[in-house]
Chains A and B, each alone.
Chain A
């Protein structure tokens, strides 16, 4: 997928390279290490963003399609909830290591596992949103001569957006956190410096990568809140929030 996939010698020293002049092995936090390794950390951060974005996007496509199907035909709801609940409850690490047997080491394995974790959240929220349309709104729409397709696209789907966006927020934050485990099967993302730090006394990389993951989660959540406001301008109306 990218040069990142190939493990270069300079990328992943077997013995952690912390022989910086001003860093000691047992030092709690060494700012000099962060400065020296910043380009590398930045690359991990970018990887982390796209690992998350891909998983949530694919999850969204699958979950929304399934929710539309379940909205139209109720009998699809239970099977999909069952499958996605099972996926949701499997421990991530176990899931990743099992998937390696099938799809090998690499991004594909990571995305399959992470996408699996988004499905339940996104499906539940989308379906709840689609079903949240008040009956009188449906009655008015049908009475005004909207076709069922027009009712779906102009009424149900827009009105499902607040619930859908809430699902995307929770899923994104969850996946940002889970994606640190991707480093176990692929040298990608902020999990990598964390993984390297395990078993050593030098924890600067672990702390920095962990903090970056937290910041990323907060920023993503904030951006999604803004996006929610942009796509659901009516949601805050009527709470005294006249623009």
Chain B
């Protein structure tokens, strides 16, 4: 049934009912001149949007409200139908596929989670596998795996959603979307309703997960910091649904194409750029260097941003970097940090 069966797999195998452990390969998503017009509205909601998300990468869609982020995402699983252009997943147009088949092959996570309140956690996780006609045994095994994946105890299986905290519910929402091992995931402000501590936890959890499962993810958020943290690439949409800039977080922060993007990524983009890297990357290993007295010491895993903060707080110019064993690796100077932050000036500000 699943439309992505013919997609090439790295191991050349076929997905098979008898082989539940088989991992399905992530697939590239391509927006090609995508346009969405609503009847009775002059301005399109999405205007000629083209972008390519390589297989296995996370693309964050950011932008102000009215920028059409969620609309763009919903066009992929056809909760909203295209007016023009095309979206291809693994080279196949979403328009060529049966809509329910398409949706069962795409993981879908929303901010309000939308767990089914009358079903136990086990039944919630089993929804898509059941729709796909998996055997009882295979579903049971998969449900167990999914709880392990999001690090929840198996005793949760018999509970109902109302008995879980918000963070736990969203973990189950995430696990449910992953149930049939879809090659593509759509996430609509998935962590937006959580408190900051829980959000940070579940973000880290998702990053770890992504390392394990490798999906192509479209992640909608209005929070540029979340986009920087979660996205391999970031697409900034502007009012009217046009693409303002598409690139890595570092590209966006160091070289915003215009004042809109520069403003959106924030005046502190130099600092944000520093938080993308660790001091390990900048260490000067020269063993003969002079360490001035009072130079503060940080771990190699510290971000450049924290390193800078430590330097400023200590009123020093040189940071001593040590590794996990406490061995001195070398130093990072204030000048190196300044270079690393070096957000190049934009046309407007030059």
> A-facing mask of B156-174, CB < 8 A → 1, else 0?
0001111100000000010
A150 within 8 A of B: yes
The answer on a CB contact under 8 Å between B160 and A234 is yes
Contacts of A234 in B (CB 8 A): 117-120, 160, 162
Contacts of B60 in A (CB 8 A): none
Shortest Cβ distance from residue B133 to the other chain A in the assembled complex, whole angstroms: 12
Stretch of A19-27, A63-71, A134-142 that contacts chain B? A134-142
With A140-B108, A145-B128, A145-B131: A158-B118 Cβ-Cβ less than 8 Å? yes
Cα distance, A134 to B115, chains bound together (Å): 10
Cα distance, A48 to B108, chains bound together (Å): 53
Contacts of B127 in A (CB 8 A): 144, 146
B108's contact among A144, A155, A158, A237, by CB below 8 Å, is which?
A144
B114's contact among A139, A150, A154, A161, by CB below 8 Å, is which?
A139
Cα distance, A134 to B119, chains bound together (Å): 14
The answer on a CB contact under 8 Å between B162 and A237 is yes
Cα distance, A146 to B176, chains bound together (Å): 14
Cα distance, A146 to B77, chains bound together (Å): 12
A3 within 8 A of B: no
Chain A contacts with B in 201-237, Cβ cutoff 8 A = 232-234, 237
A91 within 8 A of B: no
Contacts of A39 in B (CB 8 A): none
The answer on a CB contact under 8 Å between A136 and B102 is no
B278 within 8 A of A: no
Cα distance, A134 to B173, chains bound together (Å): 16
B113 within 8 A of A: yes
Contacts of A142 in B (CB 8 A): 79, 103
Contacts of A155 in B (CB 8 A): 116
With A143-B103, A238-B160: A136-B112 Cβ-Cβ less than 8 Å? yes
* Chain A residue at smallest Cβ distance from B98: A145
The answer on a CB contact under 8 Å between B108 and A143 is yes
The answer on a CB contact under 8 Å between B117 and A141 is no
> A-facing mask of B185-215, CB < 8 A → 1, else 0?
0100000000000000000000000000000
Contacts of A242 in B (CB 8 A): 159, 163
* Chain B residue at smallest Cβ distance from A158: B118
* Chain A residue at smallest Cβ distance from B108: A143
Contacts of A138 in B (CB 8 A): 114
B117's contact among A137, A144, A146, A239, by CB below 8 Å, is which?
A137
With A137-B117, A237-B159: A146-B110 Cβ-Cβ less than 8 Å? no
Shortest Cβ distance from residue A171 to the other chain B in the assembled complex, whole angstroms: 23
Shortest Cβ distance from residue B117 to the other chain A in the assembled complex, whole angstroms: 6
A144's contact among B101, B103, B112, by CB below 8 Å, is which?
B103
Cα distance, A189 to B205, chains bound together (Å): 66
A74 within 8 A of B: no
A145's contact among B102, B110, B118, B161, by CB below 8 Å, is which?
B102
B104 within 8 A of A: yes
Cα distance, A150 to B160, chains bound together (Å): 21
B77's contact among A136, A143, A158, by CB below 8 Å, is which?
A143
Contacts of B115 in A (CB 8 A): 137, 140
The answer on a CB contact under 8 Å between A140 and B117 is no
Cα distance, A140 to B77, chains bound together (Å): 12
Contacts of B176 in A (CB 8 A): 144
Shortest Cβ distance from residue A231 to the other chain B in the assembled complex, whole angstroms: 10
The answer on a CB contact under 8 Å between A137 and B116 is yes
Cα distance, A134 to B169, chains bound together (Å): 16
The answer on a CB contact under 8 Å between B104 and A237 is no
Shortest Cβ distance from residue B104 to the other chain A in the assembled complex, whole angstroms: 4
Shortest Cβ distance from residue A241 to the other chain B in the assembled complex, whole angstroms: 9
A89 within 8 A of B: no
A146's contact among B100, B102, B160, B163, by CB below 8 Å, is which?
B100
**Pairs A–B under 8 Å by Cβ, sample size 16:** A136-B110, A136-B111, A139-B112, A139-B114, A140-B114, A143-B186, A144-B176, A145-B105, A158-B118, A159-B117, A234-B117, A234-B118, A234-B119, A234-B120, A237-B159, A237-B163
Q: What residues make up the interface of B, taking CB atoms closer than 8 Å to A?
A: 77, 79, 99-105, 108, 110-120, 127-128, 131, 159-163, 173, 176-177, 186
Excluding A142-B79, A143-B110, A146-B100, 18 further A-B contacts by CB distance (< 8 Å) are A134-B117, A136-B110, A136-B111, A136-B113, A138-B114, A139-B110, A140-B110, A143-B108, A145-B99, A145-B102, A146-B127, A146-B131, A155-B116, A159-B118, A234-B119, A237-B160, A238-B160, A239-B162
Leading 3 A-B pairs by shortest Cβ distance: A238-B162, A140-B114, A145-B103
